[in-house]
Amino acid sequence: MGRFLLMIPGPSITDPETMLDMAKPTHSHVSEDFDTMHRESLGMLKKVFGTEGDVVVIPGSGTAAIELAVRTSVKPGERVVVLKAGFFADYLADAARRIGADVAVVQSPTGRGFTGDDVERILRGGGYSAVLLQHVETSAAVANPVKDIARKAKEFGAKVVVDGIASVGGMEMRLDEWGVDACLTGSQKALAVPPGLAIVAYRKGFAPLSESETTYFNISRLLKEMESTRNYYITPAVNMVYALHSSLRRILAEGLEARYRRHEVLAKAVQRGIEALGLRLVAEEPFRAHTVTAAYIPEGVEWPRLYSEMRARGVEIAGGLGELRGKIFRIGHMGEVTANDVTATLASLERSLAKLGYRVEFGSAVRAAQEVLHSYGV
C-alpha cells in the first residue's frame, strides 16, 4: 500500500494518532470506562452539530444514518420534498419512500444548489411537511445554504432533515440555532475517522419519531443505549468509538471556527488551482463546497487514465458518480487535509494531465493555490 495521499471525498485521511488510539485493546461495551468514553464522544458531537438535543451513534455507513434519520423524522403518509442537487439525494428519497412517505423530488441544474428563495417557491402551495436535503452533495461538490433553507422551511412549518455526511466537522452546522430537526453524518469524512460509524443528531426539543422503527433502527432503545452503554441494545463499535473520541478531541482542540476556516481556505486554493489549469469547476458560486471540489475532465483525457497517472504519483482522487461518471474528477479536502497535501495534489495533477497530452503550464495550478494560501497567511 505504501505512502500515498488520500484525496478522495471520503474516506478521508485519519491522523496516525487516532489510528493508534483505535488499536488499543477492545474493552467491554458495558464497562464503565467505555461508557464514559462513549458519553464524552456524544458530548463532543453535540458541540460539532450545535445541538443540545439527542445524538445517536451506531455501527454503519452513512447510508445507515440516512435511514435512521429519515425513519425518525418523517411519518408514513407525510408529504415531503427532497431537494436534489445530485446523486445522493436519491438515498434520502428512497429512505422516505420506503417508510411510505409521499415523496416529491425537485432537482437543481448541475452545479447549483438551492437558495432560500428557491425553497420558498417550492414550499409555497406544495403542502410539504418536511424538506430533505444534502448539506454537501458530494457528487457535484455542491453545498446548500442550510441556514437560509431551514429558516424558510420553518416559515412554512416544515421539518428539516439534512444529510451532512460530507460536511459535518468541516463546515458550520448549528441545529438548534438554525432549526434543523435532524442532521446525519458518517465517521469517514470531515470527522476524519475511518468508515464505520453512522451518526444522527436532533435539535433540542425535537423528539425522534418511533412509528417506523425496525429491529436495527429502533430509536427508543438506541436512545436508552446512548444514555448509557450499559443499557445494551446493539453492540457499539467499540474501537471505532475510540477513534471517534480521539478525532473529536483533535477537532475541538483545533477549534471549530479555525477548522471551518481551514476548510474554506483549502477549498479556495484547490478551486483556484484547478481553474488556473483552464478546467471548469462543476459547482457554481455561491454553491461551492468547502470539503470537496469537482471539475470537468478536459477533452482528450479519459478518467481511468487520469486516475492511474495520479495514482502513479501517489495521489488518490475520485471520479464522477451517476450522470457525471467519466466526465468529472473530484478532490476531497476535508478532515485532516493540510495546505501541503493540497499543493502536492495540484502538482501531481499538473504532471498527470501533461503526461496525458493536456497543455499545462507547469506551476500554474500550484502558483494559484499558493497565492490563495499566502493571502490567508497559511
Give the binding site for ligand PLP (CB under 6 A).
Answer: 10, 61-63, 88, 91, 134, 138, 163, 165-166, 186
Could you tell me the three cell numbers for 268? 479556495
Least Cβ distance, residue 195 to ligand PLP (angstroms): 6
**Closer of 72 and 343 to ligand PLP (Cβ):** 72
Tell me how far apart the alpha carbons of residues 62 and 82 are, in angstroms, rounded to a whole number: 17
Residue located via cell numbers 461495551: 29
Task: Find the shortest distance in angstroms from Cβ 94 to ligand PLP.
Answer: 11
Q: Read off φ and ψ for residue 355, nearest 5 degrees.
A: -60, -30
CB of residue 49 to ligand PLP, shortest distance in Å = 16
Distance of alpha carbon 194 from alpha carbon 19, whole angstroms = 9
User: Which residue number has the CB closest to ligand PLP?
Assistant: 62
Q: Compare residues 11 and 208 and give the one whose CB is closer to ligand PLP.
A: 11
Instruction: Give the separation between CA 249 and CA 261, rounded to whole angstroms.
Output: 18
Query: Which letter, b or e, does each residue of 313-327 get, where b requires 16 or more Cβ atoms within 10 Å of its Cβ?
Result: bebebbbbbeebeee
Least Å distance, CB 319 to ligand PLP, is 13
Which CB sits closer to ligand PLP, 10 or 169? Answer: 10
Residue 163 or 181: the one with the smaller Cβ distance to ligand PLP is: 163
- Nearer to ligand PLP by C-beta: 163 or 309? 163
Give the three cell numbers for residue 238.
467499540
Choice between 199 and 365, CB closer to ligand PLP: 199
Nearest distance from residue 87's CB to ligand PLP, in Å?
8
- Say which residue the cell 431537494 belongs to: 83
Taking alpha carbons only, the member of 108, 127, 128, 110 closest to residue 118 is: 108
CB of 308 to ligand PLP, least distance (A): 22
Rounded least distance, CB 337 to ligand PLP, Å: 16
The DSSP call for residue 126 is T
Of 163 and 350, which has the nearer Cβ to ligand PLP? 163
Nine-digit cell string for 216: 436495527
Residue 252 CB, shortest distance to ligand PLP, in Å, is: 23
Cis peptide, bond prior to residue 59, ω within 30 of zero: no
Q: How far is the CB of 10 from ligand PLP (least distance, A)?
A: 5
Smaller CB distance to ligand PLP: residue 276 or 328? 328
For residue 355, CA distances in Å to 159, 275, 306, 350, 359 come to 50, 19, 9, 9, 9
3-state secondary structure of 159: strand
CA dist., res. 345 & res. 369, Å (int)? 11
Complex with ligand PLP: residue 95 or 373, whichever CB lies closer: 95
Cβ burial 20-54 (10 Å sphere, 16+ → b, else e): ebbeeeebebeeeebbebbeebbebbbebbbbebb
Cell of 153: 422551511
